[in-house]
Amino acid sequence: MQVTPWNTYQNRREFLNKMIKIGAIASIAPSQLIIAKNNRHFLSQTPIKSAQNYNNYYEFSTNKEAVMHLANSFSISPWSISIEGEVKNPLTLSLSDILDLESVERVYPLRCVEGWSMVIPWKGIELRKILNQARVKTTAKYVKFVGTYRPEEMFNQRRKILPWPYTEGLRIDEAMHPLTILATGMYDETLSKQNGAPIRLVVPWKYGFKSIKAIQKIIVQKEKPKTSWNMQIPSEYGFYANVNPSVAHPRWSQSREVRIGELRKRPTNPFNGFKNEVSHMYKNLDLELNF
Amino acid sequence: MSWLFKIKQNEKIFRFTIFSISIFPAILLYYKYSTAGLGINPFATLSHQTGHIAIVYILLTLSITPIRRFLCNVSIKLNLNRGKRLSDWNFLIKSRRQLGLFSFFYSALHLSAYLFLDIGWSWEYFSDDLAERSFIIYGLVNFIMLFLLAITSPTIVRKKMGRWWKKVHRLMYLIAILSIVHFVFAAKHGNNWSIVYGTICLVLLSNRAWIFLSNKSRRQKDDGLETYRN
């Protein structure tokens, strides 16, 4: 029998308490139900040490166990994040502004495109909260995220290994999806630098490289943004990058993954286990082509 | 230099030393495995490190012939008492077989990591990989060739095979190239070890090509007159 992780248990209680306070159990929005259901998957969490000592963060190093040391010198305060582009109300939020917003806690599996995964309890805010605050125009189709360019601190940016600054993108409906969060913490701690402090994206049904770290700008736009990995190797890293065991990376299989803490590989789930929640967004899309 | 040739007289000690050094990475990996010291992703550590060591041993095996030739030339230049004949360095050839067998050994460990830990002996995964993953095919072909060389390495087999032995064992050149191709396709973007391995492999193979293509008269002779030349 698997013991429910404390956070998961706690999340449910908090969630239910909140609902009772509001006194509106009957009027729970469907999306909130989805998340409540998601958190009921009794995923056994990766130890915090592993999550903090094994990081794919190309700005610092391609060696996952070196990132934690190299990220030490990265300065993260003061920090602000701007929301601009196709919005009626462009915003610049300081980190404390974001921390003041209503936070959520989510336990998500994170699946790296390299074939390993972790289960991490995140703390953050739903991205749609901020986008709604900025009042996205109806002309908006995509959201672009821009990371940090600081070669003097981010050691590996001196190599032209990827187009810097790291850039990622989502379709507007993906960005507005309640599962998509901006994380500022994990495991009841503030986000560590090697995990993308002070603020990072978490899109649980996509490969980890979509979940950009140390975000500085969020630009809502009409055209599809050019993203770093896609620009570097377009044949291997698509714009969508949905976790899909049946569409292989051109060089290696995506049908299985090593869960950190285990020795053997296990099968990978379509959409990283969020098929019910997100597959409707891709009904009219050929996922073979739009990998 | 005379200490070196005393080693020649004690070939067994020399080979035992090579054996001890070569088995050490395997023991270390096993020790780390049993003490949970393989890092955060033990699967990756096991499969990557056995692969790296296998490539290193393939390149070491290929480096014996050029090293032998090089040492011989150095001895001639320095006009040393011993070492001017290629055959003075024959003890290196015996350790070449050892190194070759170790490259087979580490490839076998590498393949086991794939079979046991990655696909878990699933025929379905295996056939999918063969159909789609080119580097799996390169690796597998390479392993089969290494296996072929390993089973034809005992002296009895070698004698039975006659001239064919040398021809078959030239497959090692192909194995070296293929193992690096395998690595290039398997490694993630930003991993530059392939440049290091590729350069070493290029040097080792082009040295042979250079000798082969150069004028016959310039090739190393081994008629015993080297001792008097210079």
Within-domain flag for A106: yes
Mean pLDDT of A42-48: 85
Mean pLDDT of B195-209: 94
Residue A89 structure tokens? 């109300």
A210 Rama sector, left if φ>0, alpha if ψ -120 to 50, beta otherwise? alpha
Per cent of chain A over pLDDT 90 is: 74
d(CA B209, CA A259) in angstroms, rounded, equals: 47
Within-domain flag for A36: no
Residue A122 structure tokens? 């995140």
CA torsion A36-A41-A44-A46 (nearest 10°) is: -60
* Distance separating the N- and C-terminal Cα atoms of chain A: 37
- Does residue B177 carry a pLDDT above 90? yes
This complex has an ipTM of: 0.80
Supply the mean pLDDT for chain B.
88
> pLDDT by residue (tens digit) across B138-153?
999 999 999 999 999 9
Within-domain flag for A84: yes
d(CA A93, CA A95) in angstroms, rounded, equals: 6
At residue A273 the predicted structure's pLDDT band, cuts being 50, 70 and 90, is very high
d(CA B88, CA B2) in angstroms, rounded, equals: 12
d(CA B39, CA B19) in angstroms, rounded, equals: 27
- Does residue A17 carry a pLDDT above 60? no
Nearest to B95 by CA among B21, B171, B3, B178: B21
Nearest to A51 by CA among A266, A211, A162, A164: A211
Q: Into how many domains does chain B fold?
A: 1
Q: Which residue would you say has higher pLDDT here, B134 or B148?
A: B148
At residue A57 the predicted structure's pLDDT band, cuts being 50, 70 and 90, is very high
Question: Residue B12 sits in which domain range?
Answer: 2-227
Q: With contacts defined as CB-CB under 8 Å, which chain A residues touch B132?
A: 248, 253
Supply the mean pLDDT for chain A.
87
**Residue A254 and residue A244 in contact, taking contact as beta carbons nearer than 8 Å:** yes
Q: Which of A161, A233, A264 sits opposite B120 (nearest CB)?
A: A264
**Residue A68 and residue A52 in contact, taking contact as beta carbons nearer than 8 Å:** yes
- Does residue A290 carry a pLDDT above 90? no
Q: Into how many domains does chain A fold?
A: 1
Q: For Cα atoms A211, A214, A219, give the angle at the middle one, nearest 5 degrees.
A: 75
Query: Is B118 touching A (CB cutoff 8 A)?
Result: yes
pLDDT of residue A190: 94
> pLDDT by residue (tens digit) across B53-110?
999 999 999 999 999 888 888 888 888 877 788 878 888 888 899 999 999 999 999 9
- Does residue A196 carry a pLDDT above 90? yes
Rg, C-alpha atoms of chain A: 18
Question: Residue A68 sits in which domain range?
Answer: 45-280
> pLDDT by residue (tens digit) across A62-79?
999 999 999 999 999 899
Q: How many CB pairs under 8 A join A and B?
A: 62
pLDDT of residue A23: 42
Cβ–Cβ below 8 Å for B129 and A114: no
Q: For A136, which DSSP code?
A: B
**Residue B182 and residue B137 in contact, taking contact as beta carbons nearer than 8 Å:** no
Cβ–Cβ below 8 Å for B40 and A264: no
Q: What are phi and psi of A185, to 5 degrees?
A: -155, 165
Q: For A84, which DSSP code?
A: E
pLDDT of residue A107: 94
At residue A32 the predicted structure's pLDDT band, cuts being 50, 70 and 90, is very low
**Residue A87 and residue A135 in contact, taking contact as beta carbons nearer than 8 Å:** yes
What is the nearest CA distance from B26 to chain A, expressed in angstroms?
Answer: 18
Within-domain flag for A1: no
- Does residue B199 carry a pLDDT above 90? yes
Q: If interface means Cβ-Cβ distance under 8 Å, which residues of chain A face chain B? A: 50, 53-54, 58, 62, 64-65, 114, 116, 159, 161, 232-233, 248, 251-253, 255-256, 258, 260, 262-265
> pLDDT by residue (tens digit) across A198-215?
999 999 999 999 999 999
Q: Which residues contact B170 (CB under 8 A, 6 or more apart)?
A: none
Within-domain flag for A11: no
Mean pLDDT of A256-275: 93
pLDDT of residue A5: 53
**CATH number (domain holding residue A95):** 3.90.420.10
3-state percent breakdown (helix, strand, coil) of chain A, nearest 5: 30, 25, 45
Within-domain flag for A195: yes
> pLDDT by residue (tens digit) across A122-175?
999 999 999 999 999 999 999 999 999 999 999 899 988 999 999 999 999 999
Per cent of chain B over pLDDT 70 is: 89
Q: For A101, which DSSP code?
A: S
**Residue A211 and residue A110 in contact, taking contact as beta carbons nearer than 8 Å:** yes
Q: How far is CA B219 from CA B77, B133, B209, B222, in A?
A: 16, 43, 12, 10
In order, the DSSP letters of A196-249 are T-S-EEE-TTB-GGGS-SS--EEEEESSPPP-HHHHH-TTTS-SS-B--TTS--
Q: For Cα atoms B54, B58, B62, give the angle at the middle one, nearest 5 degrees.
A: 165
State the alpha helices, DSSP H only, in A3-77.
Answer: 6-22, 30-38, 48-53, 67-70
Quote the strand ranges of A95-141, DSSP E: 104-111, 116-126
**Residue A70 and residue A61 in contact, taking contact as beta carbons nearer than 8 Å:** yes
pLDDT of residue B92: 84
pLDDT of residue B131: 85
Helix (H) or strand (E) holding A134: helix A127-134
pLDDT of residue A29: 45
pLDDT of residue B78: 87
pLDDT of residue B13: 84
Cβ–Cβ below 8 Å for A253 and B128: yes
At residue A291 the predicted structure's pLDDT band, cuts being 50, 70 and 90, is confident
